[in-house]
A and B are shown apart, each in its own frame.
Chain A
Amino acid sequence: MSTSAKKSTSSKKTAVRKAKPRVKSGAKPAAKKTRVAARPVRAAKRAAPKAKGKAAGKTAAVASSAEFMAHAYAMEAEAAERYAEFADSMEVHNNREVAELFRKLARIEQRHADQILEQMGWKQSPASAANVRWEGMEGPETADPTELHYLMQPYHALQIALHNEKRARDFFAQLAKSTKDKGVREGALEMEEEEAEHVRLIEEWLKRTPKPDANWQADQDPPVLSD
């Protein structure tokens, strides 16, 4: 095996280092997610008129309920786009099972984004969503592309999803703590609860999913020069 092949192999291991349990493509948290998602929207909508222009401490970018919903929308839309991209990538590499799982995750996230549009009465993505800037480089629910591997299994994909849901939960928890705006805080707390529920659902999903065996990344015809 060449040096580069060795490097590649070791990185494949690190690529899924967060992975542990394992998924079955049967159970999905979509329905529950969908139901709960409407609540924070309503809370923020109620509070929106009196929330303008208030500072939000450390997360100063979210100064009002309308901005909060723009952030929530941007987060869901970005996550959906990334999962769809992952699904395309897996499909091209003939990893159909994982492609389908990512496609499903993309649909779930897109549904959440669409619900926000509907609840807020926005006909399309608001301009404020396009201008959302996260503290990190991407949204808290957007998956890291470098975690992918062409031989990854549903378990690994769910590990990625779990990681993102946890980040989203923590984002809202932090926002709820730091904001001085009542509407933003209410919305953030509800979203935190929502994301915590998603974490639990994915953890359950993982329990039902077979763990990959030790040689899951073995490839008789690897892409890296090895002779």
Chain B
Amino acid sequence: MNSAALAAPLTAQAFKSDYKPIWCPGCGDYSVLSAFTKAFAKLNLLPENVAVVSGIGCSSRIPAYTTCYGFHGVHGRSLAAAAGLKLARPDLTVVVASGDGDGYSIGGNHFLHACRRNVDLTYVVMDNHVYGMTKGQPSPTTEPDWDSKLSPGGTGLRTFNPLVIALAAGANFVARSFAGDPNGTAEIIAEAIATPGFSFVEILSPCVTFRPEQREWKQMVRKAPVTPTEDAARAARRLMTDDGMNIGVLYKGDRKPYQPPVGKGKKRPTDLEAEFAL
């Protein structure tokens, strides 16, 4: 987090734009939006010092609903755009919003390398185990036996375990949260932003339209019974054995964030504009 702090902090409301979200009633993403704005307010940020970058999908609508700078990018490529932005403008706080389809399937490769690269970003994935915007196709986190019109009998495919993969790929901060806990989610997002390096926050965000059974998540989630660890091996063991319903900060490392090389070769945006001018 590099943005200048405010003398008089803004309220969470100041980070909400005048656009009304067009998610389905009951969608968990409303609460995630609320958590974003609360986290920004908690950190005393200014909207003009924050950029929210997204890909495609229900969750990726978030930039328009904030007063921060926003970039609604290409499907699965939000991390690439965000990394470029952060490296060009390290003074900005860059937060990336994605979903389980956008982030783990179309953008799966970017996810791996963003973790590995460890640019100072916060990556928030709203996981509802389904492609909601395109009407209910199974995503990488959909259970193998989820039966639907578009996946009769279920896919039979093993689910993607994003937290373990983030940890193995080198993410410096790994957490899971639940949309039904907007205050707790705001705290986790704030901590993720404040932690240098690539921070990954998976938020269980129910899709009540295509996965109505996810209403039960509020009875299933629980605070992780362990404190965050700095030991990646211990974190991996915990993550490999949990049932996906433990919420909280699960791993916090101390890797130094990626910095672009400095020196003679470094060019400012104006230099590049001049170089490429026709």
Binding site for B on A (CB under 8 A): 2-5, 7-8, 10-12, 14-15, 81, 85-86, 88-93, 124-125, 130, 133-134, 137-138, 144-150, 152, 223-226
B181 touches A8 (CB 8 A): no
- The contact sample of 28 A-B pairs, CB cut-off 8 A, is A2-B150, A14-B215, A15-B208, A86-B25, A89-B21, A89-B23, A89-B25, A91-B20, A92-B20, A92-B21, A124-B11, A130-B42, A137-B181, A137-B184, A138-B180, A145-B28, A145-B31, A145-B180, A148-B26, A150-B25, A152-B25, A223-B135, A224-B135, A224-B210, A225-B135, A225-B136, A225-B149, A226-B149
Interface core residue of B25, B136, B206, B210 (most chain A CB under 10 Å): B25
Interface core residue of B23, B208, B218 (most chain A CB under 10 Å): B208
In the complex, whether B182 has a CB less than 8 A from a CB of chain A is yes
B210 touches A149 (CB 8 A): no
Q: If the complex has contacts A2-B149, A88-B20, are A8 and B25 also in contact, measured as CB distance less than 8 A?
A: no
On chain B, the residues within 8 Å of A4 by CB distance are: 136, 148-150, 210
Q: How far is the CA of A225 from the CA of B34 in the complex (A)?
A: 30
B181 touches A146 (CB 8 A): no
On chain B, the residues within 8 Å of A15 by CB distance are: 26, 208, 212, 215
**Smallest CB gap from A145: residue in B:** B26
Given A11-B215, A15-B26, A146-B218, 6 further pairs, Cβ under 8 A: A4-B148, A8-B210, A89-B20, A125-B11, A137-B180, A224-B136
Binding site for A on B (CB under 8 A): 11, 20-28, 30-31, 34, 42, 135-136, 147-150, 178, 180-184, 206, 208-213, 215, 218
On chain B, the residues within 8 Å of A150 by CB distance are: 24-25
Give, as a whole number of angstroms, the nearest-CB distance from B30 to chain A. Answer: 6
A137 touches B218 (CB 8 A): yes
On chain A, the residues within 8 Å of B24 by CB distance are: 150, 223
B182 touches A138 (CB 8 A): yes
Q: Pick from B34, B148, B208: contact of A146, CB below 8 A.
A: B208
On chain B, the residues within 8 Å of A133 by CB distance are: 183
Top 5 closest pairs, chain A to chain B, by CB = A11-B212, A2-B149, A148-B25, A137-B181, A148-B26
Q: How far is the CA of A119 from the CA of B170 in the complex (A)?
A: 51
B148 touches A149 (CB 8 A): no
Interface core residue of A10, A133, A145, A223 (most chain B CB under 10 Å): A145
Give, as a whole number of angstroms, the nearest-CB distance from A137 to chain B. Answer: 4
Q: How far is the CA of A149 from the CA of B212 in the complex (A)?
A: 11
Q: How far is the CA of A35 from the CA of B94 in the complex (A)?
A: 46
Q: Pick from B25, B135, B212: contact of A90, CB below 8 A.
A: B25
Give, as a whole number of angstroms, the nearest-CB distance from A203 to chain B. Answer: 24
On chain B, the residues within 8 Å of A85 by CB distance are: 30, 34
Q: Pick from A3, A146, A152: contact of B215, CB below 8 A.
A: A146
B208 touches A2 (CB 8 A): no
**Smallest CB gap from A9: residue in B:** B212
Q: How far is the CA of A147 from the CA of B212 in the complex (A)?
A: 11
On chain B, the residues within 8 Å of A86 by CB distance are: 25
Q: If the complex has contacts A5-B149, A145-B31, are A137 and B26 also in contact, measured as CB distance less than 8 A?
A: no
Q: How far is the CA of A12 from the CA of B184 in the complex (A)?
A: 28
Q: How far is the CA of A145 from the CA of B208 in the complex (A)?
A: 10
Q: How far is the CA of A42 from the CA of B184 in the complex (A)?
A: 31
**Smallest CB gap from B12: residue in A:** A81
Q: If the complex has contacts A5-B149, A91-B20, are A81 and B26 also in contact, measured as CB distance less than 8 A?
A: no
**Smallest CB gap from A88: residue in B:** B20
B150 touches A11 (CB 8 A): no
Q: How far is the CA of A224 from the CA of B27 in the complex (A)?
A: 14
Q: How far is the CA of A145 from the CA of B54 in the complex (A)?
A: 24
Q: If the complex has contacts A8-B210, A225-B135, are A146 and B26 also in contact, measured as CB distance less than 8 A?
A: yes
Q: How far is the CA of A89 from the CA of B21 in the complex (A)?
A: 7
B34 touches A81 (CB 8 A): yes
Interface core residue of B11, B21, B31, B148 (most chain A CB under 10 Å): B148
On chain A, the residues within 8 Å of B184 by CB distance are: 137
Give, as a whole number of angstroms, the nearest-CB distance from A34 to chain B. Answer: 22
On chain B, the residues within 8 Å of A125 by CB distance are: 11
On chain A, the residues within 8 Å of B212 by CB distance are: 7-8, 10-12, 14-15
A138 touches B183 (CB 8 A): yes
